[in-house]
């Protein structure tokens, strides 16, 4: 997959997403390099591996270029050895609501207690129905970026 990624991000205010989810997976991700809004990330989602490159956002975090390629689990395991310090672990729940799929990430380890939902859109002004578990919008707030959470984990915010 590659192209412009347009998404909005929200805090989650209840665990209703768990009963509404049609699937869930465990995700572990690390960053080979990051800086100036650009990232090269390796991710292991259950038994699959992915290499992702993201460019900087020019519109306050609403959209950015993304290139993603599936790689083998073995390749992902080796690429984790090249990662910068800090790994993000989470369970991702997929919730279909109002014609959109919401990805709800329940973070673990140093980010335990943080739950964030994202919805991908076709256009920045595309309307969408809000599921009942959505809370405050945090689109563009860098504290909630996964790359930031690995260096400044949620447990240190309190």
Q: Which residues are catalytic?
A: 31
Using the structure block, give the residue that is written with the tokens 């395991």.
77
- Residue 82: both structure tokens together: 């090249």
Beta bridge partners of 91: 26, 106
Separation between Cα atoms, residue 140 and residue 9, nearest integer Å: 8
Output the CA torsion sign for 93, 58, 149, 35: positive
């Amino acid at each position: 997959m590659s192209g412009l990624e347009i998404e909005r991000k929200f805090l989650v205010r209840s665990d209703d997403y768990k009963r509404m989810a049609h699937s869930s997976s465990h995700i572990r991700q690390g960053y080979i390099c990051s800086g100036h809004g650009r990232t090269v990330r390796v991710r292991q989602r259950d038994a699959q591996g992915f290499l992702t490159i993201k460019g900087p956002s020019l519109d306050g975090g609403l959209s950015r270029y993304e290139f993603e390629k599936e790689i083998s689990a073995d390749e992902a395991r080796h690429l984790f050895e090249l990662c910068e310090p800090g790994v993000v672990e989470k369970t991702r729940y997929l919730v279909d609501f109002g014609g959109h799929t919401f990805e709800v990430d329940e973070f673990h380890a140093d980010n335990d207690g943080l739950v964030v939902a994202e919805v991908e859109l076709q256009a920045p002004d595309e309307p969408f129905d809000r599921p009942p578990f959505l809370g405050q919008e945090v689109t563009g707030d860098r504290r909630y970026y996964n790359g930031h959470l690995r260096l400044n984990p949620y447990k240190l915010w309190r």
